[in-house]
Structure 1
């Protein structure tokens, strides 16, 4: 290890590396005498000549879309008595409208039926507070709007049909319930605590519901997972079976 004189602007070598005792500066290596704020570094950025922040591009909102958002917010004000907690003034409300619209675009909200169903869920929640945009979007995709069972009902069927003893014997409300169960994991639903199991199943179930909302057709339930058709059992058939069993037992005791 070679160490040359330090403290006079000459380099100091450690293990073959050359380190200068001159402090790194912003402008051509000018020394920095003290701590530098991050804001100053950003304002005086010169290390990357090609650096140029992308300008904000305004997005035009057509009048029809603006009307839909305005009417939705009016309905939210009517359904949520404490709406001023979220929108204390017009400026904040206008900014919130843009955020809600952006969330709709990111999530694929494309129909008034979805928004109407979201509002029905708002009313059903009986909460005085405005839901977060993401929560409202999840309500727009809720299975009830498609005529499917609720998450709780679907989870109960998934838990029952995922039991090993129900293999090939389960009946499914809809392919969405089966595919959500398969995605969540048959074994996982049996072993996870209920709270975690419901959360995992709900995520997969709502994914299937979104596919349906977007017009995608789900694959049918595999034949191997369907209950085999059996003979219809009537009271007469059951009584005859009991009579035959009694007769056999009587013959065995004689």
Structure 2
């Protein structure tokens, strides 16, 4: 009976790509190359967990996966093992799509841009005093996401309602940054507009529904 390879099994027969273990069979005699190969296996493991359906569609069998690993190993040759793994984690953190090789090159090269975690960014946006533009932001992306989500809306709605709206804007802004776009720093102002009259519960609910419909969340 013919045997069939398990697509999830270690790539012991793939030229240049060892299995993810640390046995002597994975060693090439080049410690730096061995470390990069282990990092690449970790990268693909992380991406599979995070983008399961997309990953399986992109790499439906062992042969395709092995070819991809060889391509990625060659393409990411200029990065350290730590930078490779960090690039994968950055993709998972900021993008809903499985990264291409080109995208991974950007993610490994550009770093986090000093971007805070989405929850930390949300807390900063909510706690920053007015005028918001005068606050010393950890990153301009936090300010722009807060402004896009609407400061008044963030201040007058519970986290369960406000955070998804903020996070959606923040994610899109982070993706634009990762694609190479630059963000202007907030322009300091003397005074922001005066606080508007608080919305009623019904008006708040209507505004939330409009924002969710607009953002498709």
TM-score by length of 2: 0.42
More helix by share: 2
Greater RCO (CA < 8 Å, at least 6 residues apart): 2
Structure showing greater radius of gyration is 1
TM-score by length of 1: 0.37
